[in-house]
Amino acid sequence: MTSSPFNRSDYTSLLLEKNLMHRNHMLPESASLRCTVFNDKGDLIASSKDVKRSTLISEYGLFPRDLRKIDKTNHSVEIAPSISVRRDSILINMLYIRCLIKADTVILFDDMSLRSSRAQSQLISEIETKLKSTTDSSLAYEMRALEAVLVSAMTNLDAEMKVHTTVTKGILSELEQDVTSDKLRFLLIQNKKISTFAQKATLIRDVIDELLDNDDDLAEMYLTDTLNNKPHSVDDHAEVEMLLESYYKHSDEIVQTINSVIANVRTTEEIINIILDSNRNQLMLLGLKFSIGLLSLGAGMFAASAYGMNLENFIEEDHYGFPLVVILTMAPMAFLFAYSSKHLRRLQKVTMMDHYKSVREKF
């Protein structure tokens, strides 16, 4: 028997070496992120440029934890939105937007997913337009970049809200005409979508609200003045506060609108449940009526079967025997049917006041 050129230990060593090479290749320090860079004049100087993580940490003052939030290639869901204010930069993580704003540079981290490629291109156009705008020349560079990011985020939320609102209203209007299992399934799916969207919009609103409540961060957002050795005091942030408040109100309107749609869906679900309960009760009453009829008929059939037994009795010789048996059979059957139907109707007419009276009698 010939020996194998590789024994078990050699094979294990080869696998370990391969795994170590793969891990070294994927180290955060050696990996890179694809970025789009704008200069201080608003010109696009780099598009989809690969920048090493170490460069972002050393030259732009980012932390490794910031890069973990920015790099979403291994995440299947969107992370929670955040606006982090540093000493000389503003890091924004919101929806599909991952952006670093400095006093003279804007770095937009590209999202390679197909669903956000169109929104990404619109964001690039919006940032370039805002930075080159002459009408907003009174605003600092970082304020114009921040406004461009917020405009793009709110535009995306508005468009998504309109889609969810239109689809939901269409399903609700169809349910008013006819309730089917397919429509109920569509309503369930749409309810999950609008609930997810409401949570996303609420998180964005809360992020802006938390930033408005932090005076230190608001004062540090004046990056240009800080670069020129003119830092703002804690209570000197009226300009950026008014800017953020306008978009906070916009996001709050979106949240209130989608919450109203969710309330309409829940109301419709409650009405549908009431209708289904009523239909189920009607079917149960129909079954009880059939049971009462069969019970009454069974009582009459018992008398008929007893009379039809092959036994001699005096009734057979009487001319009025047959009518008498029929009457005596039908009378109890009719009485039983009427008595049961009366109690069934009484159950149908139970009201909330009757239930309240019965509860009071117990106590």
Q: Domain locations in the chain?
A: 25-277, 278-362
Place of tokens 């009795």: 313
Only one residue has tokens 């969207």, namely: 197
Lookup: tokens for 89: 């930069």
**CA distances (Å), origin 44, targets 124, 255, 267, 284:** 9, 34, 50, 72
- pLDDT value at position 256? 96
**Which tops the pLDDT comparison, 64 or 222?**
222
Q: At what angle do helices 238-307 and 141-177 cross, to 10 degrees?
A: 20
> Which is it for strands 44-52 and 82-85: parallel, antiparallel or unpaired?
unpaired
Candidate ranges 9-13, 256-260, 274-278; pick with highest mean pLDDT: 256-260
Which pLDDT belongs to residue 360?
A: 54
Q: How far apart are CA 243 and CA 304, in angstroms?
A: 92
pLDDT, tens digit (0-9, with 9 covering 90-100), for 12-59 = 555 555 554 444 444 444 477 888 899 888 888 888 888 888 888 888
Render pLDDT for 58-98 as a digit per residue (tens, 0 to 9): 887 788 887 877 776 444 456 688 898 988 889 999 888 89
Confidence at 113, pLDDT banded by 50, 70, 90: low
CB 171 within 8 A of CB 186: yes
What is the token pair recorded at 317? Answer: 């010789």
Q: d(Cα 130, Cα 151) in Å, to the nearest integer?
A: 10
100 DSSP 8-state letter: E
Q: Is 138 exposed, middle or buried (0-12, 13-18, 19+ CB in 10 A)?
A: exposed
Residue 92 three-state SS: strand
Q: Mean pLDDT, the chain, as a whole number?
A: 80
SS3 293: helix
* Arithmetic mean of pLDDT, 104-117: 75
Which residue, 179, 193, 101, is CA-closest to 146? 101
Triad 177, 183, 186: Cα angle to 5°: 140
Mean pLDDT of the 175-188 span: 88
Determine the pLDDT at residue 357: 53
Rounded distance, CA 144 to CA 127, Å? 8
Segment 92-119 shows an average pLDDT of: 81
Higher pLDDT, 306 or 35: 35
Amino acid at 243: L
Confidence class for position 313, pLDDT limits 50, 70, 90: low
Crossing angle of helices 181-212/238-307, nearest 10°? 150
pLDDT of residue 151: 93
- pLDDT at position 115, please? 53
Is the CATH code 3.40.190.10 the one for domain 25-277?
no
Lowest mean pLDDT among 17-21, 120-124, 149-153, 184-188: 17-21
Contact in structure between 224 and 103 (CB atoms under 8 Å): yes
User: What separation, in Å, do the N-terminal and C-terminal C-alpha atoms of the chain show?
Assistant: 94
* Cα distance between residue 246 and residue 295, in whole Å: 73
CB-CB contact of 108 with 36 (8 Å): yes
**CB proximity list for 234: less than 8 A, separation 6 or greater:** 215, 216, 219
Contact criterion met (CB below 8 Å) for 148 and 129: yes
CA-nearest of 68, 97, 286 to 294 is 286
Q: What is the mean pLDDT of residues 9-14?
A: 57
Q: Are 296 and 340 in contact (CB under 8 A)?
A: yes
Q: Are strands 82-85 and 90-94 parallel, antiparallel or unpaired?
A: antiparallel
